[in-house]
Each structure stands twice: as structure tokens, then as C-alpha cells.
Amino acid sequence: MTQSLNARAAALSAAILVAFLIVWHIAVSGVGSTPEMDPEYARLMGQTAVQGTSAVPGPLDVGAKIWEHLERPFYDNGPNDKGVGIQLAYSLARVLAGYLLAVTLAVPVGFLIGMSPLMSRALDPFIQILKPISPLAWMPLALYTIKDSGISAIFVIFICSLWPMLINTAFGVASVRRDWLNVSRTLELSRWRTATRVILPAAAPTILTGMRISIGIAWLVIVAAEMLVGGTGIGYFVWNEWNNLSITNVIIAILLIGLVGMVLDQIMGRLQRMVSYAE
């Protein structure tokens, strides 16, 4: 039953993709009354203003450009001309660095908050004030104090990854069944053994949910952060290609950002299913 459903879902997804590509191709191929491209914009694009020509590349143009990037994903011709493989590597390194730093702080503090009502009430005002602040609002302060754009981007990822993990960890720990905690007291387990043998396995699905949310937010924020700080990364690649008026490369970067985000989410989803248990 599940395999049949998966097969039908895959077929439907493929049909939707094909329909989208056909509509995209028709929309940019000049069928119908497409307005003439602005002459000045056409000159900047290295084209001639032709009636019925769209400034947006079609799927065939994007596909050909993707093939070019796949042939040389790691070339390096200087600061403003690097392959998409290098750009993605820089972005992923920053995301993972900030994310792992957030894990090392969010999980222990979340345990503390979940196990101690006193600490929960004491820290709640600070969490409620800091949580709604946009991560990018920290960027000017980070650049001023750290004076390094790469580390500043990592700091922003750390900030945006912290809160979902912290809140979900605290909630998961606080929601552990009282019966299980009573059994641990009956067996005279130490607080450490109770935390590692009882609370952690029970709260693991909720903790992984927070980590899954955080990795998605981190990948979302790194693109905007790299647009601000420049240098390297997929966000800077998008901004640089826009400045070069290469809409084809902008579309390719958008596709890559979505694909990498999907892969990161699927990895965390698999880990989440591994630690889940049936009631």
C-alpha cells in the first residue's frame, strides 16, 4: 500500500514538474503578446530589443547553463569568479559551524530549563525578548565587534539556530511522563543517569524536531547574510550574478539553494525518525 502510494505520488510530482516546465517555456518563448524588451536593459543584457522576446531565460537556457556549471563546479578564477561548488561549500561550512555551536549551547540549557521550573521562569523573559529579533539585525553589531565577515555570518547562524532547539528541548524535557521519572526515583538513579537514560531518549524526538527547524532557518538566513557581507558563498553568488545581470545564474542559484535545503531537511528528518518510538 505504501509503495503504491509513493509511486503514484512520484508520478504526480513528475507530471507537475513537466507541466511547469512547459508553461515556463511557452511564457518566455514569445508565444502571444510579449512586450518588447526595454532597449537600455537589452543592451545591458548583451541582447537586442526584439518584439516578442522575454528577458527571462527559458528552461532550455537554464538547463544548458546548469550543464556548464556541472562540468566545472570548483573552478576558481579570482575573488568574484568561483564555481558554484566552491560557493556552496563556503555556505555549508558557515551553516554547520554556527549550527553546531548552537547545538552545544541550546541542548544543555534546554535540559536545564526543562528540568528546573525555577530556571525556566528566570530565563523566560530573556528568551522572549531575544527570540523575536531578526538574525540579520545582529549583523551590524557582529561586524563592528568581530570585524570579520565570515565569523560574523557564523554568529548570525548561531543566533538564528539557537531558539528553536532551545525551546523544543525545554518542552520535550518538561513533557517527559511523570511515571517514568517516578520509576527512576524508585530505582534511586542519579540525576545524571536519569537525564541520560530516561529523559534524553523520551525527549529525543522533540529535540530533533527543534534541530530540524533550526537547520532550515540557518540555511535560509545564510543566503541573506552572505548578500550583506559579500566575499564567498551562495548568497554572495546570487547578488553578484544579479549585479552582472545574469538572470540565468540567479535562477540556477535559487534551484541549488532549494535542493540543498531539501537535502538538509531530509537528513534531519531521517534522524528524527530514527529516534522516534511508538506509543
**The pTM of the whole model exceeds 0.85:** no
- Whether 91 has a pLDDT exceeding 80, the answer reads yes
Which residue stretches of 45-175 are H helix?
Answer: 59-71, 84-115, 117-130, 139-146, 149-174
Single out the residue of 212, 210, 264 nearest to residue 234, CA to CA. 264
pLDDT number for residue 185:
75
Give how far Cα 208 sits from Cα of 23, 146, 260, Å.
Answer: 39, 31, 19
- Rounded distance between C-alpha atoms, residue 233 and residue 90, angstroms: 5
Residue 34 banded pLDDT, cuts 50, 70, 90: very low
**Who wins on pLDDT, 159 or 13?**
159
Residue 31 banded pLDDT, cuts 50, 70, 90: very low
Break the chain down into helix, strand, coil percent, rounded to 5: 80, 0, 20
- Rounded distance between C-alpha atoms, residue 215 and residue 96, angstroms: 9
Residue 37 banded pLDDT, cuts 50, 70, 90: low
- Whether 123 has a pLDDT exceeding 70, the answer reads yes
Residue 36 banded pLDDT, cuts 50, 70, 90: low
- Rounded distance between C-alpha atoms, residue 60 and residue 24, angstroms: 10
Positive or negative, the Cα torsion across 156, 159, 160, 161? positive
Residue 39 banded pLDDT, cuts 50, 70, 90: low
Q: What is the pLDDT of residues 162-219, one digit of tens each?
A: 999 999 999 998 888 777 777 777 777 777 777 777 888 888 899 999 999 999 999 9
Tell me the CATH class for 84-275.
Answer: mainly alpha
pLDDT number for residue 207:
92
pLDDT number for residue 42:
53
pLDDT number for residue 63:
85
- Mean pLDDT in residue range 259-274: 91
- Mean pLDDT in residue range 218-244: 86
- Whether 145 has a pLDDT exceeding 70, the answer reads yes
- Rounded distance between C-alpha atoms, residue 63 and residue 100, angstroms: 35
- Whether 238 has a pLDDT exceeding 50, the answer reads yes
Q: Give the start-to-end residue ranges of the domains of the chain.
A: 2-56, 84-275
